[in-house]
Structure 1
């Protein structure tokens, strides 16, 4: 009887494995297509886990005029190419990504959750990036203090730009 149960358990595990591999192979891996259900669920779970691990981290900097100015400068140099100077993500580059570039000006949660990302979570994402998305790591580009300044600026984006199209630095009109 033990051998029968062991055989059934092995068959069940083998069936699950075959189903998982078949599902994985059927996924459309094109960057301009929405991810499959399995990939989307896995990505949301992993991002949710990383968010929880950094949720309590507080920004050590105050939103002084100088910190906000420097945060804006770093944002425009490093982030606006995809997110736009207004943070809405509707640039000629940002609209091409999947998952889409999130609007930083409208809400801070970037997915279906209702809670806003904490400063620590935004800092973590900017520092480490998000694998398999267009969000790169800025750990080797910006210092932790510079990233905190970017976080300060991102928090001000909803107040800075209420309407109008997104533009990346390359899309800004030139001349008088």
Structure 2
């Protein structure tokens, strides 16, 4: 029992010293270590799941609403998260890199997507859009993002066409 307690104290003091001595890399142009990336991913996903209330999206996922959400995404989110059909872009100056939603989609629920868009994620570059955007607009984007990998073909075509035309 004493050994476990001493080990816990040693780990805590070691962790504090690691941080206090400036050994943790904080530059945005240097990728995080695997351990840091793994711990942060776990912390973010766990926090979002705990704090985002599971409420129904008041925006119906009609084709028109999905297209509207896709256009909002193109105009306001794709600079960091990527546009459909645009492929990879150099985001080496952003660490951790923003999730490439157009390529990988998301495992979050619509309510969780809305919560992240509204409140942001600390120390990631994902700002709190709820400060200046309406809930309706954020829910519209959430409806689109939740279905981004499973959109009706004509909706996906409309968004890809808008992405290529820059509108």
The answer to whether TM tops 0.5 is yes
Bigger share in helix: 2
Q: Are the counterparts in 2 of residues 105 and 157 from structure 1 also a CA contact under 8 Å?
A: yes
Per-residue CA shift, 1:46-74, capped at 9, x if unaligned? 21222322373322211224322331232
CA RMSD of aligned residues (A): 3.2
Post-superposition shift, 1:75? 1.4
Matched pairs, number: 153
- What residue number does 2:70 align with? 72
Alignment equivalent of 1:101, drawn from 98, 106, 114: 98
* Partners of 1:87 and 1:125 in 2: CA distance: 24
Q: Does 1:48 align with 2:39?
A: no
Structure 1: unaligned runs, 5 residues or longer: 110-115
Q: Are the counterparts in 2 of residues 127 and 138 from structure 1 also a CA contact under 8 Å?
A: yes
Q: Are the counterparts in 2 of residues 88 and 104 from structure 1 also a CA contact under 8 Å?
A: no
Alignment equivalent of 1:84, drawn from 77, 82, 85: 82
TM-score by length of 1: 0.68
TM-score by length of 2: 0.71
Post-superposition shift, 1:99? 1.5
Change (3 A) 1:88 1:132: farther
- What residue number does 2:129 align with? 138
Deviating 4+ runs (over 6 angstroms): 8-11
Structure 2: unaligned runs, 5 residues or longer: none
- What residue number does 1:63 align with? 61
Higher-Rg structure is 1
Q: Does 1:15 align with 2:10?
A: yes
SS in 2 for 1:106: helix
Post-superposition shift, 1:82? 1.3
